[in-house]
Amino acid sequence: MSSHSSFRFVRTAVSVFALSCAGFAASAQQAQPAVSAVSAVSAAASNDVNFPSLDSSYLKTGSFVGPDHVRRITPGLSKDQVRLELGNPQYSEGLFGVREWDYAFNFYTGKGNEYITCQFKVKFDLVDNVYRAVSTHWKGVACESYLNPVVMAQAVPVVLAAPAPAPTTRRLTLGADGLFKFAKSGFNDLLPEGRGRLEALATQLRRDGVVLSSIIITGHTDRIGSDASNVALSQARANTVRDYLVGKGIDSKLVRAYGAGETQPVQQCAGERVTPELVACLQPNRRVDIEVAGQQ
């Protein structure tokens, strides 16, 4: 073989060898991503989430935070956005250059002041030179349920009864001097004017459309005379007014009569000696009060 032919043979062999090496390298480059993807999947699958001890928190317990704040932590938020919702991490991991923040939160259980403490972790990754949340994790399955509002059963409409009629109370004062003869109290001692006023009252009570619940009659006297005689006189006058109204159709079970004597004066007068002037001055104290209660 000539030297020229030998040179061509060697050049051809070198070229074939170079192409073979290039093809092998290309095949190796194409196969590499598949190996990396498998490795990444395996790493992710085997990467367990570890939580620090609750006692290692600087709070030694959890902080109270509204569930809405935790619910708003989603992938893509920056660390500053997470801090606005949850505050600073509660453990010693620091703020910058770390990829995990740990928290401990207290959630009320709905049973009085009872609450449960849950640990929460936010994982970050560096995206375009900004740490952004990529996942969130709870220690314990039950904790996440406190973020979800309880769906209440639909309330059954309640038909309210019409409100009861408002109670009414009226107070009527009748001057005893216009009802009875002086110092008298019997039915036959009623003056014509007094009978007319009681008749008008009985008629009004029957026609008012008021459902009566009680009628309280209280007799009063002035301070002339003894305490005992005044109590007896005031009681007797109240009894006479009660009996008159019952006789006109008012239910006797609704009517009560009391004698207050001189204990509730409405006017004070000077002097102790009984004179026509003192008797006239004390006239407003000699009276019968009638309080009517019912529903319109």
208 — pLDDT class (breaks 50, 70, 90): low
Which two tokens mark 16?
């074939």
- CATH, range 167-295: 3.30.1330.60
Pairing outcome for strands 130-138 and 167-175: unpaired
Q: What is the mean pLDDT of the segment spanning 197-211?
A: 80
DSSP assignment letter at 264: S
Which tens digits make up the pLDDT trace of 60-91? 778 888 888 888 899 999 998 998 888 889 88
Contact 120, 137 (CB under 8 A): yes
Residues of the chain with CATH 3.30.1330.60: 167-295
Domain span(s) for CATH 3.30.1450 in the chain: 54-147
Residue 108, beta-bridge partner list: 115
The pLDDT value given to residue 10 = 38
The model's pTM is 0.45
| Cβ burial, residue 100 (10 Å; 0-12/13-18/19+) | middle
Strands 63-64 and 100-108: parallel
What span, in angstroms and rounded, lies between the C-alpha atoms of 76 and 3? 70
Q: Hey, what CATH class is 54-147 in?
A: alpha beta
**Residue 166's pLDDT band (boundaries 50, 70, 90)?**
low
pLDDT at 98 over 80: yes
Report percent pLDDT > 70 for the chain: 78
Of the pLDDT bands very low, low, confident and very high (cuts 50, 70, 90), residue 4 is very low
Nearest by Cα to 289 from 171, 210, 181, 198: 171
Overall average pLDDT of the 210-229 stretch = 89
The lowest-confidence range among 5-14, 49-58, 187-196, 241-250 is 5-14
Instruction: Read off the DSSP letter of residue 157.
Output: P
For residues 141-156, give the mean pLDDT: 66
